[in-house]
Amino acid sequence: MTQERQFCLPDVGEGLTEGEVLKWLVAVGDTVSVNQPLVEVETAKAAVELPSPYAGVVSSLHADEGQLLPVGAPLVTIGVTGEPDPPVAEAAASGSGGPVLVGYGVTESATRRRPRVAPPSPHGTDRPEAGPPGEPVKPVRHGGLEVGRAAEARFATDGEPTVVRAKPPVRRLARQLGVDLASVRPTGRDGTVSRDDVESAAALALSDASSGGGSGRPMLGDRREPVRGVTRSMAAAMTESAATIPAVTEWVEVDVTRSGALIERMRGLPEFSDSKVTPLVLVAAACLTALRREPKLNAMFDAEAGEIVHRSAVNLGIAVASDRGLVVPHVGSAEALTLAELSVALGDVVRRGRDGTAAPADLVGGTFTITNVGVFGIDGGTPMITPGQSAILAFGAWRERPWVERGQVVVRSVSTVSLSFDHRFIDGATGSRFLRDIADILEEPALLHLWA
């Protein structure tokens, strides 16, 4: 006889919550043996092959390639003939079906559930509690220490717990993002508020605030798409940035005619034959020189520790639009490079960012970011600071414009540079000096030498 056995997505990496199905290695109808690889799954930690716990015939695949599955969700069902192997790794078909991982998973939910605590009854007996639908009303008995009982009872009302359950890191995140935990709908295990719950509440609060509310109202024909990958990291980073960094933005128009001429000269020099010299190179060089004069813009405000972290190097991040979305690879220790080396390094990170081949190490640990909105034909804006950094510079398109010089209107090449900085520890004077330095260098690139 054949028995259907379900294999659920295990936590293959100590505390993971989800995994993406990369590739199925078997199809419905295939006969599989024990430990035969079934599927390739990518988690936050690694891409791994999952071997079959059963020998039998694949009767259904429960996820498509590219689908993100929570740990504990059914992955594949296998029809097993012969010996009845104890199906330990299966999620309880009846319901709560926690993650299947031994040691972290939820089993025997009926007996392991945390007791709900009712206020002390005047009659000195415990009150009955409504069970899940379909189950008889069960009396609740409270055990444990008197102190714990008293404390829990204080927070309880009429059988419904009002104590919000969330882990300490989630509570801290909620504080950082200004989210009231009690207002969040918990979706985590055992009714806890998860990190995702808090982040989406924060994102909702932001979009409500900006659109006057009601942005989430569905319309006929709407399509829903799971947020994942680069978009997901972008959402988290931007939410954190908006919620935790009080930033101000300043901008200034610059006559970049001399810079343009210098770039033309550089393109002809043998030192720069290994790379394509772009305005980004000069802007980056200007930032590096200005950062040496105002190193605070490369520092970080660590609110938790109440400290300012002065960086030993400039890891110069460049915001790059890739097919997958915004990525910010950086040039490590950029301050130590010559102009020619910088040009090669910038070309490299931009290309790798665009191709999606940037190494993980290139994507974290930046200390200052430049975003080139000029490539989109834009002049300026209010760029958002990458969490962990203190400033971001946007440089706009270089265009020919009328410009007044010594009382004469002349045609010059003009651009705008916009700077957002963390106003918690960088005051307006410092931020303005820094931006002015950059503008001065772009107007007169010889300052690169004078201020070197």
CA distances from 113 to 116, 140, 147, 189, 368 (A): 9, 11, 20, 11, 48
Catalytic, 310? Answer no
Nearer to other proteins, 36 or 176 (CB): 36
Stretch touching other proteins by CB under 8 A, among 43-51, 243-251, 331-339, 385-393: 43-51
Does 82 bind other proteins (CB under 8 A)? Our answer is: no
Name which position in 134, 143, 168, 407 contacts other proteins (CB under 8 A): 143
The answer to whether 415 and 254 have CB atoms below 8 angstroms apart is: yes
Indicate the burial class of 253 (C-beta count within 10 angstroms; 0-12, 13-18, 19 or more): middle
Does 115 bind other proteins (CB under 8 A)? Our answer is: yes
Does 23 bind other proteins (CB under 8 A)? Our answer is: no
DSSP state of 165: P
Nearer to other proteins, 216 or 360 (CB): 360
Report the nearest approach of other proteins to the CB of residue 150 (Å).
14
Does 11 bind other proteins (CB under 8 A)? Our answer is: yes
Name which position in 127, 142, 171, 258 contacts other proteins (CB under 8 A): 142
Does 53 bind other proteins (CB under 8 A)? Our answer is: yes
Does 401 bind other proteins (CB under 8 A)? Our answer is: no
Nearest to 282 by CA among 340, 349, 332: 340
Nearest to 40 by CA among 56, 61, 55: 61
Instruction: Say which residues have a Cβ less than 8 Å from residue 162's Cβ, sequence separation at least 6.
Output: 155, 156, 182
Nearest to 413 by CA among 398, 427, 392: 398
CA distances from 273 to 139, 261, 278 (A): 82, 17, 12
Residue type present at position 274 = D
Distance, CA of 69 to CA of 164 (rounded, Å): 26
Instruction: Say which residues have a Cβ less than 8 Å from residue 345's Cβ, sequence separation at least 6.
Output: 331, 334, 337
Does 46 bind other proteins (CB under 8 A)? Our answer is: yes
The token pair that represents 431 in the structure block: 């931020």
Nearer to other proteins, 72 or 431 (CB): 72
Binders of other proteins among residues 411 to 430 (CB under 8 A) are: none
Name which position in 23, 45, 351, 401 contacts other proteins (CB under 8 A): 45
Nearer to other proteins, 42 or 253 (CB): 42
Residue type present at position 182 = A
Nearer to other proteins, 346 or 358 (CB): 358
Q: Which residue has the tokens 């002065």?
A: 310
Binders of other proteins among residues 144 to 173 (CB under 8 A) are: 144-145, 148
Report the nearest approach of other proteins to the CB of residue 160 (Å).
19
Nearest to 372 by CA among 281, 275, 267: 281
- Residue 40's DSSP bridge partners are 23, 49
Nearer to other proteins, 50 or 385 (CB): 50
Using CB under 8 A, count the residues that bind other proteins: 46
Does 406 bind other proteins (CB under 8 A)? Our answer is: no
Name which position in 22, 89, 92, 204 contacts other proteins (CB under 8 A): 89
Instruction: Tell me the catalytic residues.
Output: 423
> What is the binding site for other proteins (CB under 8 A)?
7-8, 10-14, 34-35, 45-53, 85-86, 88-89, 99-105, 110-115, 126, 138-145, 148, 360
